[in-house]
Amino acid sequence: MTTPSSTSISCVQYNWASNSLGQDPCDVAERLNSVCTTSNGSYFVELTSDEDYTLSEEDQNPCLCTSVAYNLVSMCRLCQTDDGKVYPTWSQWSTNCSSLNTGFPLGLPGDTAVPDWAYQDISESDAFNETLAAEVATTDHSESSSSALPSSTSAVSPTSSSVRFPKGPNSDTAVIVGSLLGGLIGVALLVVAILFFIRRRRRSRMAPSTVYLEASHSKEDTASRGRYTSVDALKTERAVPDLPLNIVSDDHSSFSFDPYDPSLTSSEKDPSQ
């Protein structure tokens, strides 16, 4: 494989776009293309017009028909002008490609490294996003080389919200504790609701007469406890003597007397007389 020579294009105003080896996007794109061919065509040379370049049927290959190569070439063209967008859309760039790939599924050459901003996902936006590329480059200085190839699923989404920040362990603990407390409260409320429903359902199944009798018995018990006193209690309270009474007359005769039971009344003579 022939090692490509460095391009003559300079990206001084976009220093953030260069990799850790000091290679600008044009140089990196040219080196990736060398994996498939030694012919670089006109995609990495200095611009001679403002026309949008698209891959021809002759120049398309598995290296250039990738989102990484498209992003690098778009940034390479952006380096050469201050007049805004001078690069094609992803659809225009890949119109003649026989197959398309996100990321760069082929092996990276050992003399370069691809910055993470070049792996941004353009499947939905259909265009390179310079603002997102700059944001990723200034917050994440990671890059891919031949010793570590990113999978296509690691591509950066074309929205600013896809810049990821690490989660601390405390946030996970708080989520777990909150989930447990919420679950316990929910179970307690469910149990209370079930008990209330069962009790109400049992009450509704009782016949009206049963309900009335239970209420009447309850009132009678309450009244009897509050209004009436037992006979033994009254005797004790009023010092009533025990019956029958033993009465001794003047002639020394005695008899038993019970006002509530006349049959117990009897008399007998005092034997001493």
Q: CA 257, CA 247: separation in Å to the nearest integer?
A: 7
User: What is the Cα Rg of the chain in Å?
Assistant: 52
pLDDT value, residue 68: 94
Highest mean pLDDT: which range of 32-41, 145-154, 189-198, 220-229: 189-198
**CB contact at 8 A, 104 and 34:** no
Mind giving me the DSSP string for the chain?
-PPPPPPS---GGGGGGS-TTS--HHHHHHHHHTTT-S--TTSSSPPSSSPPP---TTT--TTTSBHHHHHHHHHHHHTT-SSS--S--HHHHTTT-SS-BSS--SPPPTT--EEGGGGB--TTT-S--HHHHHHHHHH---EEBTTBPPPGGGPBPSSGGG---PPPHHHHHHHHHHHHHHHHHHHHHHHHHHHHHHHHHHHHHS-HHHHHHHHHHHHHHHHHHHH---HHHHHHHHTPPPSSEEEE-TTS-EEEE-TT-GGG-EEE--TT-
Q: CA 240, CA 229: separation in Å to the nearest integer?
A: 15
Residue 271 has pLDDT above 70, yes or no: no
Residue 264 has pLDDT above 70, yes or no: no
Tens digits of residue pLDDT in 53-95: 778 888 889 999 999 999 998 888 888 776 656 778 899 999 9
The pLDDT confidence band at residue 51, using thresholds 50, 70 and 90, is low
pLDDT value, residue 178: 84
- Residues 34-39 have a mean pLDDT of 79
- Residues 184-209 have a mean pLDDT of 82
pLDDT value, residue 239: 59
Single-letter code of the amino acid located at 136: V
Q: CA 197, CA 273: separation in Å to the nearest integer?
A: 86
pLDDT value, residue 162: 34
Residue of 2, 32, 20 lying closest to 106 (CA atoms): 32
The pLDDT confidence band at residue 185, using thresholds 50, 70 and 90, is very high
pLDDT value, residue 156: 37
Listing from the earlier edge strand, what are the strands of the sheet with 266-268?
Answer: 245-248, 254-257, 266-268
The pLDDT confidence band at residue 224, using thresholds 50, 70 and 90, is low
Find residue 267's DSSP bridge partners: 255
Q: What mean pLDDT, rounded, does the chain reach?
A: 72
Q: CA 68, CA 189: separation in Å to the nearest integer?
A: 55
Q: CA 272, CA 269: separation in Å to the nearest integer?
A: 9
The pLDDT confidence band at residue 232, using thresholds 50, 70 and 90, is low
- Residues 231-242 have a mean pLDDT of 62
Q: Are strands 266-268 and 254-257 parallel, antiparallel or unpaired?
A: antiparallel
Q: CA 243, CA 257: separation in Å to the nearest integer?
A: 8
Tens digits of residue pLDDT in 103-161: 888 888 888 899 999 999 998 899 999 999 999 988 877 777 665 444 333 333 333 33
Range with the lowest mean pLDDT among 68-77, 239-248, 260-269? 260-269
Residue 229 has pLDDT above 70, yes or no: no
Residue ranges covered by each domain of the chain = 12-162, 168-228, 229-273
**CB contact at 8 A, 257 and 244:** yes
Q: Pick 190 or 153 by higher pLDDT.
A: 190
What tokens were used for 44? Answer: 């990495």
pLDDT value, residue 67: 93
- Residues 185-214 have a mean pLDDT of 78
Tell me the percentage of the chain whose pLDDT exceeds 90: 16
CA torsion angle for 48, 53, 56, 60 (degrees, to 10)?
110
